[in-house]
Structure 1
């Protein structure tokens, strides 16, 4: 089920929204949904990357070389080997 959201925005922001939506050939509401979706995806991937980096710092993640991924070498049995 869709939810409705009402935004209060500065006039200049609204003018830019109308301008950019028109340039993209989109209705303003559809353009805002596209922007929100992009931002949410970016946030998800950033948080995922931060989680991986933190796990890597704590030795909870293994990094393989390109050669290991291609199978030319056996990956180490344990992290740090």
Structure 2
């Protein structure tokens, strides 16, 4: 179960969209979360990797090429 607090403006827009399309507000909330969850996960993974890179945890390019079979 998840409860989400929305601003009155967003709530009104969501109400109007649901009424216009015959879908529920829950449907649109779920669609929005699913659409952006991958992007958010990718962003935070990239941020984490960048911190590691800046701390010196980089993988040498030669190792990457070798792992991909591009070291020829």
TM-score, reference length from structure 2: 0.60
- Structure 2 residue 6 is matched with structure 1 residue 13: no
Query: Are the structure 2 counterparts of residues 14 and 61 from structure 1 closer, same or farther at C-alpha, using a change threshold of 3 Å?
Result: same
Q: Which runs of 5+ in 2 are unaligned?
A: none
Mapped to 2, the partners of 1:32 and 1:51 lie a distance apart of 28
- Structure 2 residue 43 is matched with structure 1 residue 46: yes
Q: Which runs of 5+ in 1 are unaligned?
A: 75-81
| TM alignment of 1:1-81, pairs within 5 A | 3-5=1-3, 7-10=5-8, 12-21=9-18, 26-62=23-59, 64=61, 68=65, 70-73=68-71
TM-score, reference length from structure 1: 0.56
Mapped to 1, the partners of 2:13 and 2:60 lie a distance apart of 44
Mapped to 2, the partners of 1:18 and 1:70 lie a distance apart of 50
Mapped to 2, the partners of 1:58 and 1:38 lie a distance apart of 32
Give the CA RMSD over aligned residues: 3.3
